């Protein structure tokens, strides 16, 4: 194949971010905001039509290295705001991994794409979990270290001393509103902040364990379609993440403003800025509460496909 167009979804985390880095359970859903990418064989590397030093884009550098540094031209068009906690860099890595497979005529093996994209993220950030990359690869919903049904098992990913068992989950129809603070936050330093806190302080390590516990309760709430219980767990999780120091005054403001119209609300992703998510059956009121408190709201559609090839040409 000479040229391919691919698309990979962003995600949000219902429960378990940060704790998942230490192998605790987490639940994430793919959303209808996608990273679209066109990749074409070329004489030299190009990104968005400019000759590019790919070393400046570490995710692309890593995946290219795994593909013999075959020079390609990459056009990117993302509907996932960067640094928003919605998995834009994971979707980039997943899309590029799938595109390189397609133009080198290899099958789109989801487990291999999820693993390669995770390694690319790890190379770029020096830390993290395979949650975002697995969600973007598979789509729909995934549970990490929280699913007992063997038939839902997708793949396992291991790094250093941690193992993540990744499974598909069916999430009943629910309405989620995202509130973006407009503040870009880098995931790496926030993950590092939690790691240092946890390593120094038994109390922080207990909070990480408690987030894992809440996530398992959240799995039960999802299985029973108990929206009220799930919402309460989300709000509780937000409080625990705040204690770990990854919320911000803007995120707290959006969470508090939306709670009167919600089953629950919490920051989603790395925090620091980025986005929060609201579980509600009154999306209009949740959206107005978010916009009148300085956030950018949008209702997300879930149950969307993972990475896919849109078009290929010889």
Binding site for ligand PMV (CB under 6 A): 17-18, 20-21, 85-87, 128-129, 131-132, 187, 191, 269-270, 274
Distance of closest approach, residue 45 Cβ to ligand PMV, in angstroms: 25
Strand locations in the chain, DSSP E?
Answer: 3-15, 26-41, 46-47, 50-51, 72-78, 141-144, 153-159, 162-168, 176-180, 264-268, 275-279, 296-300, 308-313
Distance of closest approach, residue 155 Cβ to ligand PMV, in angstroms: 16
Distance of closest approach, residue 274 Cβ to ligand PMV, in angstroms: 6
- Give whichever of 9 and 38 is closer to ligand PMV, judged by the CB atom: 9
Structure-token pair, residue 109:
């093996």
- Give whichever of 141 and 269 is closer to ligand PMV, judged by the CB atom: 269
Strand locations in 215-286, DSSP E?
Answer: 264-268, 275-279
C-alpha angle 82/168/37, rounded to 5°? 35
Distance of closest approach, residue 60 Cβ to ligand PMV, in angstroms: 17
Distance of closest approach, residue 23 Cβ to ligand PMV, in angstroms: 11
| Helix (H) or strand (E) run with residue 206 in it | helix 202-223
246 with 272: CB under 8 angstroms? yes
- Give whichever of 67 and 182 is closer to ligand PMV, judged by the CB atom: 182
Bridge-based pairing state of the strands 141-144 and 26-41:
antiparallel
* Centroid of chain to Cα 92: 11
Q: Which of 190, 221, 149 is nearest to 17 (CA)?
A: 190
- Give whichever of 20 and 146 is closer to ligand PMV, judged by the CB atom: 20
- Give whichever of 12 and 45 is closer to ligand PMV, judged by the CB atom: 12
- Give whichever of 4 and 194 is closer to ligand PMV, judged by the CB atom: 194
> For the CA atoms of 90, 155, 129, 137, what is the dihedral angle to 10 degrees?
10
**Distance between CA atoms of residues 50 and 44, nearest Å:** 10
- Give whichever of 264 and 269 is closer to ligand PMV, judged by the CB atom: 269
Distance of closest approach, residue 219 Cβ to ligand PMV, in angstroms: 17
Distance of closest approach, residue 289 Cβ to ligand PMV, in angstroms: 23
């Amino acid at each position: 194949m000479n040229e391919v167009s691919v698309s990979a979804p962003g995600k949000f985390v219902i429960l378990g971010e940060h704790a998942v880095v230490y192998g605790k359970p987490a639940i994430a859903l793919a959303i209808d905001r996608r990273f679209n990418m066109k990749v074409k064989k070329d004489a030299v590397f190009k990104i968005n039509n400019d000759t590019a030093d790919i070393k400046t884009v570490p995710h692309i550098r890593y995946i290219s290295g795994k593909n013999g540094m075959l020079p390609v031209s990459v056009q990117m068009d993302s509907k996932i705001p960067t640094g928003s906690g919605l998995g834009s860099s994971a979707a980039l890595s997943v899309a590029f991994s799938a595109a390189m497979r397609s133009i080198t005529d290899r099958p789109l093996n989801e487990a291999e794409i999820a693993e390669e994209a995770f390694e690319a993220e790890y190379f770029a950030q020096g830390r993290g979990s395979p949650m975002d990359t697995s969600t973007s690869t598979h789509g729909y919903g995934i549970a990490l270290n929280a699913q007992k049904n063997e038939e839902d098992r997708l793949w396992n990913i291991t790094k250093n001393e941690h193992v993540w068992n990744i499974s598909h989950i069916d999430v009943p129809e629910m309405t989620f509103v995202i509130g973006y603070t407009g503040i870009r936050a880098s995931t790496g330093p926030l993950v590092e902040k939690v790691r240092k806190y946890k390593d120094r302080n038994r109390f922080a390590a207990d909070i990480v364990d408690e987030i894992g516990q809440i996530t398992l309760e959240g799995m039960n709430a999802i299985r029973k379609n108990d929206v009220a219980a799930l919402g309460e767990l989300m709000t509780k999780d937000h409080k625990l993440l705040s204690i770990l120091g990854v919320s911000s005054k803007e995120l707290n403001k959006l969470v508090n403003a939306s709670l009167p119209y919600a089953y629950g609300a919490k920051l989603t992703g790395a925090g620091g800025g980025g986005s929060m998510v609201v579980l509600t059956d009154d999306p209009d009121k949740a959206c107005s509460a978010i916009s009148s408190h300085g956030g950018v709201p949008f209702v997300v559609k879930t149950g969307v496909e993972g990475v896919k090839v849109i078009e290929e040409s010889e």
